[in-house]
Structure 1
């Protein structure tokens, strides 16, 4: 979407409106996060989390500063308002807020590297005559190593608009 439309900000979320299109993003906030955690010059990666990646509470790394980790995860949580592509990884890392290890921090920094390569991403809405309700769902069927619980998720579209999404244990 071009910047020729009406632009406004709400709680740091940029909203661009043009004709029958709306694009919401947090590019400035994402850049601020990268600077805050000294990742603005990092090498981008293609995915926020490695495929089939597993994290344990008692990981083999040494513990890291929980306050630093909580600030990082909290910053990523706010970014999920316009970035559903990072929800799974942020949810996974949120489980380790009390005793984070180096592997947890490395995984959080991978999400930052992913954000670095996808700064222009957000949520795009387009008015269309197509009003089909389409839903997708998935589950990993008891893949959590510690609890043997499943992680499931869904996304629903109404036309081209994402109206609901979730990922939870």
Structure 2
């Protein structure tokens, strides 16, 4: 098995790697982030995200499409789970500050497209019954 529901699976003698690098590349191309500058972290430490009542409204469809792409990636990318869910809280009334936060996640993905879940087979050998 190499591909399963968008997940790429690589098995070798030391473990199993599950990643979605092809999906990351497709998402970055879809939203035109394939030539952007990479970010080191998926979320800025400050300012904390709020509802931003006075902010400029953005296109709901674009925002929701970006969020759904991020949530799909969380199957193999726990590093973006928290920030993706934080941004998903503002889907009903997204503002420009929320869109900037989502764009930062995409820039983070640009810098680290090949991350995934590693399962070491040594640990699973002891778990067999």
Q: Fold-level match, TM-score > 0.5?
A: yes
Q: Which residue of 2 aligns with 1:91?
A: 85
Q: Distance in 2 between matches of 1:18 and 1:124?
A: 11
Q: Which residue of 1 aligns with 2:32?
A: 38
Give the length in aligned residue pairs. 126
Q: How does 1:55-66 map to 2 (within 5 A)?
A: 55-66=49-60
Correspondence 1:110 to 2:107: no
Q: Which residue of 2 aligns with 1:125?
A: 119
Q: Which residue of 1 aligns with 2:95?
A: 101
Tell me which protein shows more strand as a share of its residues.
Answer: 1
- Displacement of 1:58: 2.7
Query: Under a length normalisation based on structure 2, what TM-score does the superposition of the two structures give?
Result: 0.91
The answer for unaligned runs of 5 or more in structure 2 is none
Q: Give yes or no for contact 1:63–1:99 (8 Å, CA) kept in 2.
A: yes
- Displacement of 1:102: 0.6
Q: Distance in 1 between matches of 2:5 and 2:124?
A: 31
Q: Give yes or no for contact 1:59–1:103 (8 Å, CA) kept in 2.
A: no
The Cα RMSD (Å) is 1.9
Q: Which residue of 2 aligns with 1:11?
A: 5
Q: Which residue of 2 aligns with 1:75?
A: 69
- 1:116-153 CA distance string (max 9 Å, x none): 0101110111122599xxxxxxxxxxxxxxxxxxxxxx
Q: Distance in 1 between matches of 2:93 and 2:105?
A: 19
Q: Distance in 1 between matches of 2:123 and 2:116?
A: 22
Deviates more, 1:22-31 or 1:49-58: 49-58
Correspondence 1:25 to 2:11: no
The answer for unaligned runs of 5 or more in structure 1 is 1-6, 132-157, 159-169
Q: Which runs of 4+ in 1 moved over 3 A?
A: none
C-alpha spacing 1:87/1:42, structure 2 compared with 1 (3 Å) = same
Query: Under a length normalisation based on structure 1, what TM-score does the superposition of the two structures give?
Result: 0.70
Q: Distance in 1 between matches of 2:124 and 2:23?
A: 33
